Structure 1
Amino acid sequence: MSLTVGVGARPGTSAAAVDAAIGAALASAGLEPARVTALATIDRRASEPGLVEVADRRGWRLVGYPAPELAGEPVPHPAERVRAATGTPSVAEAAALRAVRDAGGEPVLLLTKRVDGDVTVAVAGPAGYPDAYRHHGG
């Protein structure tokens, strides 16, 4: 099974900033980038050049979800500031969870949201064997 990286970012965020935030998040959680198959975000950010470039370069599918769909996803760290700006209390966590659910898995957050500058990253995978996705001996 594969992992999904959820990303929230301000408009105009560079691919370098997005890529660095994702790399740091995966490393901090001991998650293997090779296991990631999708980058998920809110629909209005799915055409952002920085996100498109990172997804293309890494060979990940890029998916975007409307705010009402993300708002229906239960998350551990909702934020009223995010709700006021986007219409959903979570982008990164909710998008990651939703993408795993849409792929047919019961999602679990392997990394709750981590803010790195203008980029927020969360990682979800299918429930059951999350430790199988982590580096061993690291």
Structure 2
Amino acid sequence: MFGRNLWVGFGCQSGISSHLIAVAINQVWQENKLEQKVIAGIATIDTKALEPGLVEFCSLLKLPLKTFSSELLANVAVPHPSQMIAAKVGTASVAEAAAILAASANEKQPLEVTLLVPKRIFRLPGEPGVVTIAIATEV
């Protein structure tokens, strides 16, 4: 159904593990009947570019990591903005906005992108932190 055209928008608290990311992505993929081979890459806010668990996950799966400034993310209209996140990082959306921007052929005008999976929040017992994932299709 899809080629490698799905971008995973990603938000997280510091200190998350690559295991938590893998579990979250596996769950989203199973629930939506997708195959991980269609992942084009991971997208997030630039302040998470060196998050160890995220870097490890991308390295293990050989996925590119796209990052965006909070200013650029803040300009993307999303279905589930969060004022709490806006207060913390300067944008009301990280996962949904990053997925949309990464999937967009033109980052300045992400109008033709489909948000396939709205943001989902994941926690695991015994694992520190929380991750948020959203999926957008590339145009």
- TM-score in same-fold range (> 0.5): yes
The percentage of aligned residue pairs carrying the same residue is 38
Q: What is the aligned-residue RMSD (CA, Å)? A: 1.6
TM-score by length of structure 1 reads: 0.86
Q: What is the aligned partner in structure 1 of residue 138 from structure 2? A: 126
Contact 2:7 2:138 in 1 (8 A): no
Contact 1:8 1:120 in 2 (8 A): yes
Q: What is the aligned partner in structure 2 of residue 10 from structure 1? A: 13
Give the length in aligned residue pairs: 127
Contact 2:6 2:136 in 1 (8 A): yes
Q: What is the aligned partner in structure 2 of residue 70 from structure 1? A: 73
Q: Distance in 1 between matches of 2:28 and 2:84?
A: 22
More helix by share: 1
1:115 to 116, 121, 125: 121
Contact 1:67 1:88 in 2 (8 A): yes
Could you list the per-position Cα deviations for residues 10-39 of structure 1 after superposition, in whole angstroms to 9, with x for gaps in the alignment?
Answer: 011111111111111121122221010110
Correspondence 1:101 to 2:115: no
Deviation at 1:126, TM superposition (A): 3.0
Counterpart of 1:44 in 2: which secondary structure?
A: helix
Q: Distance in 2 between matches of 1:32 and 1:109?
A: 17
**1:126–1:63 distance in 2 versus 1, CA, 3 Å:** closer
Contact 1:29 1:110 in 2 (8 A): no
Q: Distance in 2 between matches of 1:93 and 1:109?
A: 8
Q: Which aligned segments of 4 or more residues in structure 1 are displaced greater than 3 angstroms?
A: 102-105
Unaligned runs of 5+ in 2: 124-129
TM-score by length of structure 2 reads: 0.85
Q: Distance in 1 between matches of 2:62 and 2:105?
A: 19
Counterpart amino acid of residue 20 in structure 2: A
Counterpart amino acid of residue 123 in structure 1: I
Correspondence 1:81 to 2:84: yes
